Structure 1
Amino acid sequence: MTQAIAPVINHTFQIGLRTAPYLADHRVGHGAILPLATYLDLSFTLGTIVSKDQPCAVEQIRLHEMHILHETPRTLNIALVATEENAWQFEIGSQPSDGSNQALHATGMLRVDSTARPSARTHAGIRARCNELRPAAEHYAAMEALGIHYGPSFHVIESLWRTDGEALGQLRLPYALEGEARLYHVHPVLLDGAIQSIMATQPPETALKLPVAVQTLALYAKAKPGARLWAHSQVVSPPDVTGSFSADVTLLDDDGAVVGLLGGVLIQSVQAMPGAAVPRPAPRPAANGSRQDASTVHVEATLRAIWREFLEVRELDAHDPFFELGGDSITASQIADKSTRSGYQLSPLDILEHQTIAALVAMIAARKDLAS
């Protein structure tokens, strides 16, 4: 546990690309990332256990540090404590392979919820408002261009209809995953598709945005294996100055009955995430040979050495792009970990976003200026 919480339940499980190969199709940058939908599914499943099969809702779940998936399974730890009658607080984290402090990936609440199932909705009524068709191929091409790579297992959107602030997505679980659908109320890939459909509530995006939090997840029925689901998204908080916004998503079956609700899904601009502020442009060496600040020189030298080690390159310029050097999310995690242990705190997201040593040096210098 990273917070002062005395857990009454500790649970560990193994997750990796070998045990869940379909997760290799959920990539940000060049690495497979555990999606928010998986945390939602794990939390909901845990809720059914601790509530002894009473209806349970997941509340206030928030992602913290990305969990980068590896071929070999890694251990995730769930620590849970009762905060009041029929309510529990939980944390999900993992222990780095080097034995350093546990990484915190998600926090949230579980609560017994006896709220009645919402009334059915008609697809036709929603379609009448969402009269602009956005082809699924266009949706996935747009996500690819922004750096979110959905492989075949996550191509669950068949059609999208939209208008500004509202969207309706037609979802179907890929055939290869239908055999395991009975294990879930709603397969996490379908939950991910519901979250994906939120992007259709906005005009085409030009900046990377990721889902980072959900206020409420309630599932009222099991999705029928092989059947379609419909995701009805409605913006509840419009984009702020950073482009971040939130929406509610209602999952419907073919008859319009409500299968589940994801309330208050926060879609956050990467630029607005902690540690990912846009740095000042990194200056190239001046023509008159003027020197950099000594501390900046030390930062750059340290980062150069770490990049050479993990990217296995001998020659390296401060302006060489990370991905062109063969970097991916796994090496970003390794570089971030060693940089932090060397005294310069970086997250994998910092490296994926800024991509050059020069930009990272400027970011670290800016943080130092703000702190002084």
Structure 2
Amino acid sequence: MDLPTYAFQRDRYWLDVTEAAADAAGLGLTPTDHPILGATLDLADGEQTLFTSRLSLRTHPWLADHTVAGTTLLPGTGFVELAALAGERLGCPRVEELTLSAPLVLPERDGVRIQLAVGEADGAGRRVVDVYARPDGGDETPGAVAKARPWTALAKGVLAPATGTGTAADGLPVWPPTGASEVPLDGVYDRLAAQEYAYGPAFQGLRRVWRGDGEIYAEVALPEEQRADAGRYILHPALLDAALHPLLPGVADQDRAALLPFTWSG
């Protein structure tokens, strides 16, 4: 077709939008590249380092498989992972002590914001770590801090430098252990569900259990669906949680009382 010889007449309706940096680095934070710990910030006074994250069942759907007494909780092993990673970034990779004071409940729809505040090192290189959480919601616009939901203290602990005296475990000379009797695991997770430990597929890592003289041995494995990101963790919380399942009632000992781990050391 024939084109006109004069310049096209036109009106422009596109909006000019300035580029906004929405990632962690653009907001002045340092990304951690960790699945459950988002970013870190060194405070200007040099006395604390802040680690931040946000968890939800939408962004981390495997956490929905950890339900106790009808409530979806971040497992205690998740707190250990958060503390261990913060310590590793600051040269204190040993979780010397970590005590949970309140559970972290994960709501069905909204998310939960998490902060780990790590203090400066003392003369022995130890650092105090405090873990806080706050659910999404409330008026969180600038100038409306008073209306935002309050932070709740969930855990407190001590991070320490590596001792330097540890040696690699030699392992057992025979596996399964000599003299240990194997515990049948048929329907084990159904039995645990009856005790209000409703573990979904991501947390069903228990494979075999043996009971010895005052000792319990177990084989655990991370389910295939969780292995893609496993290398990004120090130790995947679902795998470490599965290592504790033999201690639950009805697994290796019928007389054990119901429990949840709340204190960690070493």
TM-score by length of 1: 0.51
Q: Distance in 2 between matches of 1:90 and 1:80?
A: 4
For residue 103 of structure 1, the aligned residue among 152, 159, 174 is 152
**Aligned counterpart, 1:45:** 85
Q: Distance in 2 between matches of 1:164 and 1:155?
A: 26
Structure 1 unaligned residues grouped into runs of 5+: 1-5, 217-372
Deviation at 1:207, TM superposition (A): 3.7
Deviation at 1:138, TM superposition (A): 4.0
Cα distance per residue 1:310-331 (max 9 Å; x no partner): xxxxxxxxxxxxxxxxxxxxxx
Q: 1:212 to 1:43 in 2, by over 3 A?
A: same
**Aligned counterpart, 1:84:** 122
Q: Distance in 2 between matches of 1:49 and 1:28?
A: 32
Q: 1:13 to 1:62 in 2, by over 3 A?
A: same
Deviation at 1:78, TM superposition (A): 0.8
**Aligned counterpart, 1:117:** 167
Partners of 1:87 and 1:110 within 8 A in 2: yes
**Aligned counterpart, 2:74:** 34
Number of paired residues? 207
**Aligned counterpart, 2:38:** none
Larger % of helix: which?
1
Cα distance per residue 1:161-209 (max 9 Å; x no partner): 1136311111111111111112123211111111223348962146421
**1:153 alignment partner, SS class:** helix
Q: Distance in 2 between matches of 1:7 and 1:165?
A: 45
Q: Which has the larger radius of gyration?
A: 2
Q: Distance in 1 between matches of 2:168 and 2:113?
A: 37
Cα distance per residue 1:266-299 (max 9 Å; x no partner): xxxxxxxxxxxxxxxxxxxxxxxxxxxxxxxxxx
Cα distance per residue 1:110-133 (max 9 Å; x no partner): 1111232243121626621421x2
Q: 1:183 to 1:145 in 2, by over 3 A?
A: same
Q: Distance in 2 between matches of 1:49 and 1:11?
A: 10
1:188 aligns with 2:225: no
Q: Distance in 1 between matches of 2:173 and 2:111?
A: 41
Give the counterpart letter for 1:112 in structure 2: P
Q: Distance in 1 between matches of 2:85 and 2:79?
A: 10
Structure 2 unaligned residues grouped into runs of 5+: 1-45, 139-147
**Aligned counterpart, 2:221:** 172
| Percent sequence identity over aligned pairs | 24
Deviation at 1:90, TM superposition (A): 0.5
1:61 aligns with 2:98: yes
TM-score by length of 2: 0.71
Partners of 2:116 and 2:132 within 8 A in 1: yes
Partners of 1:164 and 1:202 within 8 A in 2: no
Query: Relative contact order (alpha carbons < 8 A, sep ≥ 6): 1 or 2 greater?
Result: 2
**Aligned counterpart, 1:146:** 195
1:161 aligns with 2:210: yes
**Aligned counterpart, 1:15:** 55
